[in-house]
Amino acid sequence: MVRLGHVLIVDDDPLNRALLEKNLQHDGHRTTTVEDGFAALAALRSDRADVVLLDIVMPGLDGIEVLERLKADPELRHIPVIMISGVDDAESIVRCIEIGADDFLPKPFDPVILRARIGAGLNRKRLHDLEQDRVRSVFTRFLPEPIAAEMLARSDGEPSIRAVRLWATVMFVDLRGFTTFAETQPVEQVIGVLGRYQGMMGDAVLDHGGTLVDYLGDGMMAVFGAPIESVDHADRAVAAARDMAGDRLAEFNGWLRADGIAEGFGMGIGLNSGRVMSGMLGSDRRFDYAVIGDTVNTAARIEQLTKQTGHSILLADQTRTNMGGPTDSLTFVSEFEVRGKQSRIKLWTADPPKEPAG
């Protein structure tokens, strides 16, 4: 089966362009033809080709210069490039292969060789696209789509997030009363309830631009402002916490009551802002995104204090001072001793309105 695609033909000779176009269209490919290097770069940015047929010898911007620019461009470097060359131009061919050309097509053209070269180029493009889809699926498991796309570009298509130290807001979440419920219900129902809860709360994190770090049984860990730094990480985290403990929890509990599963659960959310270390941990066979540091440990301990205070949301004073938006809706709770901290820390609450009884 012949794989079809979009081929960009770059050649200053109108007869060569016409011959290549005729052969490729006869095989069912879509073609675009241009006569110089500048037009080739413009064409690739307006209508991305699957394979490029690029003549080496052209006036102005020649094929080697065009190839260098393509391979230096993160958005274009993965497009297979087949250089068009005379059989006596071995030195230029070697130079192009060193730069990153995938193949070459000798002049005069043999339709059988042309078909084979284009087929191989399209296969390389397909394999690259499949790998990109796999990497994107890895990133979008825990990153919002826009951040996943940026990480894909930054990592040059590899499923990796480089280690960085940055300023962020860490969130820990716990579902209150779930352990007792789980001990008395069929396992299928327990897993179904937990899956729905994790899906709803995970969506809240992603919808507010956060990153899902881990599911911790009936809890969750997230971070805002990592792996890509942002100035509004604290505002996003507080907004997500209010959404989760407010509308999303009300919807979740409403579903539980409507289906006669349970009367509903409470939530505890702890937020803390500061320096964190962010990156991928693990091996080639298994890896995870991780956020570590004292900021993380403190956020986990603040979440535990929601049980003691009765508030569904507690945030450190450091998070409040990092907010760029209004903070007048926050209420000061008290100063608390937190394990691992030498001095007491001020905690605030951002509790949403109480869920109506029913």
Domain ranges of the chain: 6-139, 158-349
User: With bands split at pLDDT 50, 70 and 90, how would you rate the model's confidence at 283?
Assistant: low
Q: What is the mean pLDDT of residues 145-167?
A: 67
Q: What is the mean pLDDT of residues 117-145?
A: 73
The rounded distance, in Å, linking the Cα atoms of 129 and 52 is 16
The rounded distance, in Å, linking the Cα atoms of 7 and 127 is 17
Q: Where are the alpha helices (DSSP H) in 34-140?
A: 37-46, 63-72, 90-99, 111-139
Q: Which residue did the predictor score with more confidence, 94 or 293?
A: 293
97 by DSSP, 3-state: which? helix
Model pLDDT for residues 94-109, shown as the tens digit of each residue:
888 889 898 888 888 8
The rounded distance, in Å, linking the Cα atoms of 254 and 181 is 16
Which CATH number, 3.30.465.10, 3.40.50.300, 3.40.50.2300, 3.30.70.260, labels domain 6-139? 3.40.50.2300
Residue percentage of the chain with pLDDT more than 70 = 87
Model pLDDT for residues 221-277, shown as the tens digit of each residue:
999 998 888 999 999 999 999 999 999 999 999 999 999 999 999 999 999 999 999
pLDDT on residue 358: 40
163 by DSSP, 3-state: which? coil
Q: What are phi and psi of 4, to 5 degrees?
A: -100, 150
Model pLDDT for residues 309-347, shown as the tens digit of each residue:
999 999 999 999 999 999 999 999 999 988 888 889 999
Lowest mean pLDDT among 3-12, 122-131, 151-160, 170-179: 151-160
- 2-12 core/surface letters (b: 16 or more CB in 10 A; e: else): eeebbbbbbbb
DSSP state of 124: H
Instruction: With CA atoms as reference, report the closest residue to 226 among 137, 283, 136, 165.
Output: 165
Lowest mean pLDDT among 72-76, 220-224, 295-299, 300-304: 72-76
pTM of the model: 0.64
103 Cβ neighbours under 8 A, 6+ residues apart: 80, 82, 83, 117, 120, 121
pLDDT on residue 290: 85
pLDDT on residue 1: 54
pLDDT on residue 3: 75
Do 6-139 and 158-349 show the same overall fold?
no
Lowest mean pLDDT among 25-39, 160-174, 195-209, 284-298: 284-298
User: What mean pLDDT, rounded, does the chain reach?
Assistant: 87
Which CATH number, 3.30.70.1230, 1.10.3720.10, 3.30.2310.20, 1.10.260.40, labels domain 158-349? 3.30.70.1230
pLDDT on residue 357: 43
The rounded distance, in Å, linking the Cα atoms of 50 and 7 is 6
| Whether the predicted pLDDT of 131 surpasses 80 | no
Q: Which residue did the predictor score with more confidence, 296 or 88?
A: 296
64 by DSSP, 3-state: which? helix
Distance from CA of residue 137 to its chain's centroid?
8
pLDDT on residue 342: 81
pLDDT on residue 151: 59
CA distances from 271 to 78, 221, 294, 299, 313 (A): 41, 10, 13, 5, 8
Model pLDDT for residues 186-235, shown as the tens digit of each residue:
999 999 999 999 999 999 998 998 988 888 889 999 999 988 889 999 99
CA distances from 15 to 20, 31, 63, 108 (A): 9, 15, 18, 11
Q: Which residue did the predictor score with more confidence, 108 or 301?
A: 301
As given in the structure block, the two tokens for residue 91 are 């030195």
